[in-house]
Amino acid sequence: MNEEKKINMPIIHHLVIYLISFFGLSVFYAINYKLLNLIPSFRNLSEPTSMMIEYCLAYGLTAVALIIYLWNLCIKDLFAQFKVLKNIGMGVIFGIALIVVTDIWGVIANIICQKYGLVYQPNHNQLTLNQGMKEQPILALIMSVIFAPFTEEIGYRLGIFGGIKKYSRVAAYIVCALIFGLIHFDFTASGNDMLIELINLPAYISAGLLLCFYYDYTDSLATSITAHAFNNLFVFVVGLL
């Protein structure tokens, strides 16, 4: 990739980008929840459908907020990365590798569950998404394959990883992967549900590590976004089936 296409910025921008990604999702979700529940017809919708609408709006608005912030900072360089076919091709290959790694952990997790008399299943985060997918597949596709990869890769790879990497590459990998894993963790679970959350956690941490590597190796957010989107597309199709 050409040098001018690499994204480089002062540390403060990395911090702001992460804060927009993290708090943006929380704030927009809370606002959407309050406003949408003022509509009588919305309150009559099933929980998975209403949840998918709220998530899709939250991720979409956060993506818009990130684009606005990045507009004069590096948005042209980011879009230019998607014009390089090598970045997209490597993203697809890396996405397949991500699927393989998570599936291998799924096999290991199933063995662990059987040993302790548990029924293996996805964690609460994925189960909730699976329910929403079946009732609102179009919204689920937009949210999981477009909005989520964009906002999470910008927030975690460019924001956290890119910022910490300026001081320590090892710390960047560890911190970013742990935070990425924990945002998919249900801290309110208890009993066997908490065990399921803990058993699934390594898969998300591993995914975080791999996505950091993809971004670090190629210096291209287009590659990590494509890999993330390809993985989510696979999960989406499997979830529908």
Question: Tokens at residue 146, please?
Answer: 């477009």
Using CA atoms, how far apart are residues 127 and 90, in angstroms rounded to an integer?
29
Q: In angstroms, rounded to a whole number, what is the distance separating the alpha carbons of residues 138 and 174?
A: 35
Highest-confidence range of 40-49, 116-125, 128-137, 162-171, by mean pLDDT?
162-171
- Our CA angle for 18, 21, 25, nearest 5°, is 145
Find the mean pLDDT for residues 88-103: 96
Cα–Cα distance, 207 to 126 (Å, whole number): 14
The one-character DSSP state at 121 is -
pLDDT at 5: 66
Ranges of H-type helices in the chain: 11-36, 40-43, 47-70, 75-81, 85-115, 124-135, 137-142, 148-152, 162-165, 169-182, 192-218, 221-240
Concatenate the DSSP letters of all residues of 58-97 into one string: HHHHHHHHHHHHHTTTTHHHHHHHTT-HHHHHHHHHHHHH
Average pLDDT over the chain, rounded to an integer: 91
Q: What is the pLDDT of residues 140-154, one digit of tens each?
A: 999 999 999 999 999
pLDDT at 120 over 90: no
Q: How confident is the model at residue 16 (pLDDT cuts 50, 70, 90)?
A: very high
Inter-residue contact 57 to 32 (CB < 8 Å): yes
* pLDDT higher than threshold 70 for residue 3: no
CA angle 151, 239, 28 (to 5 degrees): 30
The mean per-residue pLDDT over the stretch 71-80 comes to 94
pLDDT given for residue 59 in this prediction: 95
pLDDT beyond 60 at 1: no
Residue 55, pLDDT > 80, answer yes
Candidate from 142-151, 152-161, 186-195 with smallest mean pLDDT: 186-195
